[in-house]
Chains A and B, each alone.
Chain A
């Protein structure tokens, strides 16, 4: 009897030490239930199926064969996978800082009460909704050597006849540029909404204390904006790891995936394995996707863990 009571109280204690905290815990579970259940059913289940597929040898038509961890063993020795990972990491490195700094800058400027601000904000948002086909035509044209817009602007430098789109040495630059171009608007929207949550009284107080413009930015805007910055950073890193469309925009008219696989990102490699290859293997493609998933997850978990050192929440930390 006491044993059962002990177990019950232990279980109850998991939810909180007092009846009130237990009730709060129950409320929390009820609130998150619809979205969580829906997410796990509609997207979690397919991901679990991907886990299962990764243990199989399956070309999508013949019956699948269970082969254990063989796909992952192959993966560990796959040079192409390693190349794709390197390319992806480089792109993450090129794009994430650039898009965050530029988007924050644009958001700050477009937070100033300017005439025509709405239209300017829209101009920066438009890349998010512009047809990727149009983007492909225009950007490949901009980066075309000799006749492209870029080479006209940099006419007398060594950049003018550089083969941005075909030379494996340079291909990542236009891809990064297009990625940043496309995502500034997205990040700007998040930053703009984050900026509104900073109470004006803080700026007034800082001004009274004699803070100059830079100090107000450094000691009021940045810390108060940190929850949004955290959001943008996590999403930017995830999205850069998943780059697919942008690589396609730049390489589709030449050699999809880049000459000699120079623009084959992880997602593109996975796609190739699953849908393009003559000897395609959905099991192997799933293993690639899961390896990619594991890397992103690890990075995101580190970010979640480290956020307590730099992200300031008005209502106190997320109480881990």
Chain B
């Protein structure tokens, strides 16, 4: 009893000291998931990011870090166009000059981790007292490496997938709006009813993130490549079930072909939808801003439909992370900065900036992000909910793109039977596996 009391006192003192030492911006009563720490020694870091919008948010947050946690530190941010980011990163890696801290994507992590180019952040997570399971497994599992599942990256954002639907078209067809518990059969019926004239019912198969892999995941199968990167899963029963379901909708004329859409990106489906040529599309959280700004009909957001057998709907989730180079001269400083960017305080900058959904799962932060879209009836919560039972990314490099687009073109444009297309693509995928 006494012992417990003493512990309590010690804990309180520690909390008070840390509260004094670090200016916490948390509102009263709010629980902080990740607490930034002051750095031991300021120094200079180089940092690479690929998006100018991100860069401006990150510049603000780093300025706060420099002021509050690491006075005297200097971070040189270099922004590189997305289209060339990975080529340039490889060029610099070949020259032996990876930046100290840089943006990482789950689809490219494998190469750098496999070649020991990244700093293991796990000792720092332990030191800072961060339980890495606070992030959903889809967000962090692809960033784990080695036998112990050490976490090499701090997730900064998440992207999930839902269905955007045109309410006016549902009204015209006399259909009720879909709800979170709808399933594939309901979806197929809606797609059929909504196909009128040159308007299609749905376009939900494009690309990896916002396309057919979500449907495969709902069956319980890991899409395209298994988590251990040992086999192509496209010929598994779950994959075939999902692909055949989509191919049937396409063959019945309820979904447009790739040629009609004009591309294999989810953006092409979005444009089709925004031009009122299709009623339902799979859309990523990154499209919210565009949809709110650019669509002039009534529209809604609903969770992906559930697979009738598994009664699950599973969204592909992807998270951009921050990693540090294994050769950085300031590993402690780099880790300290990364901790700050992942902390509740650092994540506020992303949440308030809108568009980018912050990875930190603190309800306050998530609400901040939802609120950043202003006063709207849209069910933005559906995106947050989709992070719950979600599927992390297992594909990498060429399998991520272009091989997965190739499958889509074979089935949904060149009219290959699903089995033939799958066989063709699996042989290519297996060439790429380690």
Contact = CB atoms under 8 A, between A and B. Distances in A.
Interface string A143-187: 011110000000000000001011100000000000000000000
Nearest to B268: A253
Contact of A254 (B263, B398, B432, B434): B263
A3 interface: no
Contacts of A145: 259
Given A60-B93, A60-B94, A276 B263 contact: no
Interface string A275-286: 111111010000
Q: Which of B396, B397, B433 has the most CB of A within 10 A?
A: B397
Interface in A268-296: 272, 274-280, 282
Contacts of A194: none
Interface in A72-96: none
B260 A146 contact: yes
Contact of B396 (A146, A259, A278): A278
B94 A278 contact: no
B259 A166 contact: yes
A255 B262 contact: no
Given A163-B414, A276-B397, A259 B93 contact: no
Contact of A259 (B265, B398, B410): B410
Contacts of B410: 259
Given A253-B264, A253-B268, A278 B258 contact: no
Interface stretch (B110-118, B169-177, B332-340): B110-118
Given A255-B405, A278-B111, A167 B94 contact: no
A279 B430 CA distance: 12
A111 interface: no
A59 B87 CA distance: 13
A265 interface: no
Interface in B205-259: 258-259
A145 B433 CA distance: 35
B329 interface: no
A61 B258 contact: no
Contact of A278 (B117, B262, B432): B432
Contact of B87 (A146, A167, A275): A275
A260 interface: yes
A212 interface: no
Nearest to A164: B259
Contacts of A307: none
A161 to B, nearest CB: 9
Contacts of B262: 140-141, 144, 253
A104 B259 CA distance: 35
B263 A61 contact: no
B401 interface: yes
B406 interface: yes
Contact of B117 (A61, A146, A147, A260): A61
Contacts of A279: 432, 434
Contacts of A147: 260
A223 interface: no
A12 B262 CA distance: 68
A257 B263 contact: no
A146 B398 contact: no
Contact of B264 (A60, A144, A254, A277): A254
B414 A275 contact: no
A61 B96 CA distance: 7
A145 B257 CA distance: 11
A196 interface: no
B47 interface: no
A100 B7 CA distance: 86
A278 B397 contact: yes
Given A254-B263, A256-B402, A278-B397, A166 B90 contact: no
B253 to A, nearest CB: 14
Contact of A260 (B259, B401, B406): B406
A35 interface: no
Nearest to B425: A260
Contacts of A146: 259-260
Interface string B258-301: 11101111001000000000000000000000000000000000
Contacts of B413: 163, 166
B115 A62 contact: yes
Contacts of B258: 166, 254
A256 B406 CA distance: 9
Contacts of B268: 253
B424 interface: yes
B395 to A, nearest CB: 10
A71 to B, nearest CB: 16
Interface in A50-66: 58-62
A61 B432 contact: no
Interface in B362-411: 396-399, 401-402, 405-406, 409-410
A192 B296 CA distance: 51
Contacts of B87: 275
Contacts of A144: 259-260, 262
Nearest to B395: A278
B35 to A, nearest CB: 34
B86 interface: yes
Given A256-B401, A278-B434, A166 B414 contact: yes
A300 B93 CA distance: 35
A149 to B, nearest CB: 13
Nearest to B115: A61
A60 B409 contact: no
Contacts of B264: 253-255
A164 to B, nearest CB: 9
A63 to B, nearest CB: 10
A160 B28 CA distance: 67
B90 A275 contact: yes
The 6 nearest A-B residue pairs measured at CB: A253-B263, A60-B94, A278-B397, A61-B115, A255-B402, A255-B405
10 contacts: A144-B260, A166-B414, A254-B264, A255-B406, A255-B409, A260-B406, A276-B398, A277-B432, A278-B434, A279-B434
Interface of B: 86-87, 90, 93-94, 110-112, 115-117, 258-260, 262-265, 268, 396-399, 401-402, 405-406, 409-410, 413-414, 424, 432-434
Interface of A: 58-62, 140-141, 144-147, 163, 165-167, 253-257, 259-260, 272, 274-280, 282
